[in-house]
């Protein structure tokens, strides 16, 4: 296992490119199973989850070229296997998005329960209910889900939660289904829009993109496409908070303002000064203050994936802030590590914490429990006095591209030790 060694107390300075969207590229890679033609994806983030997804596709019989680079080519013409490798599935939640395209093309899929970050209860009942509504039959065999469908049929599907991956699975199933599918209470995050636009380029007939009601008219086949992955607003938010907690002066490029509206509103309420230019976000040195409450919500609400770094920001804000993430009961379970660094935080229950700042953080050796908490601990170490170590950083690198190199280029004293 690897660790980051971070010497804090240095204000970040300079310019950084926003990374591509992890949550867009993974389901887009899965969607290439819907055609025998080659698909070319550009602006691909160089993260370990992309490698895992690429290897899952390879084990099914797909030809995948360019893993580890910003451009990958995928051809699924020779895919015949329909059972997903359980060891790879356990590494990544997004493996669940392979269910619908395999079912739509081959009439069968078998998988273990998907893994990924342990941040709370994350069943796949919503996925299975949607596929069942479209004619699939689901059974459990030796702790696996075994799903078959001779022909998927369009249906009116109401998702019991606005799940991103369940929305994506339902839309993929609908693309080659017979008739029309209406997906209600669908997720509408920027990465879901990106995913749907890729399917449209493949020939899918989708309307309502960006809303919580998506309509799909099934077609007989899809074709290959070349597509550029969009920017990740979570990456932008993380680097904006990194600048704020270190008193830095940072320009983030490849910035999409409409993906940042509520994030920016919360940051302004907390005294973070920034300017928006043409494709840029300029974060200025600021005196950070508390805000009454930060509550996560499905898009266009405040994203749950930024809850952890906002807890770190609140430790450096004068006053008291309540942070409430009702979506995942494990999101707060890294707070003890921040407390060991000197943070003044009260964990009210698994979903809420109260943070009182401003507190001087001190260096510590800590372990990363999940992707977003790991990134938050890096930010805390950047703001702390002394040299900290963050272990299990493989979790961080599942979602943050070249994290050490990008921070180092901004003046951070950080290195990765294997």
> Which residues have a catalytic role annotated?
22-23, 117, 122, 305, 398
DSSP 178: B
> Distance (Å, rounded) from C-alpha 259 to C-alpha 317?
24
The answer to whether the beta carbons of residues 376 and 304 sit under 8 Å apart is no
Q: Which long-range contacts (CB under 8 A, 24 or more apart) does 277-282 make?
A: 279/253, 279/254, 279/255, 280/251, 280/252, 280/253, 280/255, 281/236, 281/240, 281/251, 281/252, 281/255, 282/250, 282/251, 282/252
> Distance (Å, rounded) from C-alpha 208 to C-alpha 230?
19
The answer to whether the beta carbons of residues 71 and 42 sit under 8 Å apart is yes
Number of alpha carbons in the 13 Å side-chain half-sphere of residue 261: 7
Q: Max Cα separation, the chain?
A: 62
- Residue 401: both structure tokens together: 């591209």
> Distance (Å, rounded) from C-alpha 168 to C-alpha 281?
30
Residue with tokens 């819907």: 34
């Amino acid at each position: 296992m690897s660790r980051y060694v971070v010497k804090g107390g240095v204000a970040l300075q300079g310019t950084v490119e926003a990374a591509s969207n992890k949550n867009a590229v993974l389901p887009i890679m899965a969607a290439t199973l819907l055609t025998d033609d080659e698909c070319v994806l550009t602006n691909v983030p160089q993260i370990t989850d992309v490698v895992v997804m690429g290897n899952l596709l390879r084990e099914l019989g797909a030809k995948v070229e360019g893993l580890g680079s910003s451009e990958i080519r995928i051809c699924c013409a020779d895919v015949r296997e329909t059972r997903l490798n359980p060891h790879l599935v356990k590494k990544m939640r997004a493996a669940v998005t392979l269910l619908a395209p395999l079912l739509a093309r081959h009439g069968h899929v078998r998988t273990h329960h998907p893994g990924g970050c342990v941040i709370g209860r994350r069943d796949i009942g919503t996925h299975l209910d949607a596929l069942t509504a479209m004619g699939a039959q689901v059974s459990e065999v030796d702790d696996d889900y075994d799903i078959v469908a001779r022909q998927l049929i369009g249906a009116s599907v109401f998702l019991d939660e606005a799940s991103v991956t369940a929305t994506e699975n339902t839309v993929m199933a609908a693309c080659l289904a017979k008739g029309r599918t209406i997906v209600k209470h669908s997720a509408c995050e920027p990465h879901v829009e990106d995913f749907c636009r890729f399917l449209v380029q493949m020939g899918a007939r989708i309307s309502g993109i960006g809303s919580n009601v998506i309509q799909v008219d099934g077609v007989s086949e899809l074709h290959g496409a070349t597509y550029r992955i969009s920017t990740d607003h979570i990456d932008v938010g993380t680097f904006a908070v990194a600048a704020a907690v270190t008193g830095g002066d940072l320009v983030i490029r490849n910035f999409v303002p409409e993906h940042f509206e509520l994030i920016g509103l919360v940051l302004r309420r907390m005294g973070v000064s920034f300017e928006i230019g043409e494709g840029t976000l300029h974060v200025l040195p600021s005196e950070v203050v508390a805000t009454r409450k930060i509550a996560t919500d499905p898009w266009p609400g405040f994203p749950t994936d930024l809850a952890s770094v906002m807890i770190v920001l609140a430790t450096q804000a004068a006053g008291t802030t309540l942070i409430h993430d009702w979506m995942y009961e494990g999101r707060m379970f890294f707070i003890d590590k921040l407390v060991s660094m000197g943070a003044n935080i009260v964990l009210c229950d698994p979903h809420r914490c109260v943070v009182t700042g401003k507190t001087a953080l001190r260096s510590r050796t800590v372990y990363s429990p999940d992707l977003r908490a790991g990134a938050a601990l890096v930010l805390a170490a950047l703001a702390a006095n002394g040299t900290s170590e963050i272990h299990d950083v493989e979790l961080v690198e599942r979602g943050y591209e070249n994290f050490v190199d990008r921070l180092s280029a901004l003046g951070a004293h950080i290195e990765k030790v294997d």
